[in-house]
Amino acid sequence: MNNLMIGMDERKTKIAEKLSSQYAVNIISIEEYERLVEYSQKIETESELLILEKIVNERNVTEPPREKKPIPQYIEREFTNVLSTREISGPMVGGIITNILGETKIILDEDDLINDETTLHVSSVLGSIDIRLSGNINVVCKVIPILGEARNKYKKAAGNGKTLIINGNVILGDIKIK
């Protein structure tokens, strides 16, 4: 590989780092970041590289970072757990829980369920999901076990309460609701 190509590869790496920084501070979108990094990898001439460097360097000066929008306090949560243990608790309006070769514990009180009806989508492969509930919660379990087990041992208090719907599947693992 000649010296010109080595220099171009180093410059392409610097461009990718600058683009990554611009994305991190919200100057460019993920789509623009991916497009420009892909374009930089295809560049073969010095003139193309100079143009891209100019574009990337001007962004730092001319475009102020966009304000990050505040995250709502109660949002639908998405968690992925791979080869580890995770505990999830707190207010939610719904969630998507994926567990692969790990253990996930979900601890919810009736007050944690913001809506009258909350849906959790759960998937577990070769792992376990343990859902611990307290309060007056109606539980609807629509989990499909495939060479696994889905158990609902939760005993709700008397009266009408909020409803937790648990959809999903378990493959070679288990989901316990207590």
Portion of the chain with pLDDT greater than 70, in percent:
85
Categorize the per-residue pLDDT at 158 as very low, low, confident or very high, splitting at 50, 70 and 90: low
- Helices in 25-66 by DSSP H: which ranges? 30-42, 46-62
Of 42-56, 69-83, 99-113, highest mean pLDDT: 99-113
Of 65-69, 70-74, 77-81, 98-102, highest mean pLDDT: 98-102
Categorize the per-residue pLDDT at 71 as very low, low, confident or very high, splitting at 50, 70 and 90: very low
- Closest to 176 measured CA to CA, from 141, 123, 140, 129: 129
pLDDT given for residue 61 in this prediction: 45
Q: What is the mean pLDDT of the chain?
A: 83
The token pair that represents 132 in the structure block: 């611990």
CB 15 within 8 A of CB 40: yes
CB 19 within 8 A of CB 28: yes
Q: CA 56 to CA 93: how far, in whole Å?
A: 40
Q: What is the mean pLDDT of residues 10-22?
A: 85
CB 94 within 8 A of CB 112: no
How many Cα neighbours within 13 Å face the side chain of 25?
11
- Closest to 121 measured CA to CA, from 146, 92, 148: 92
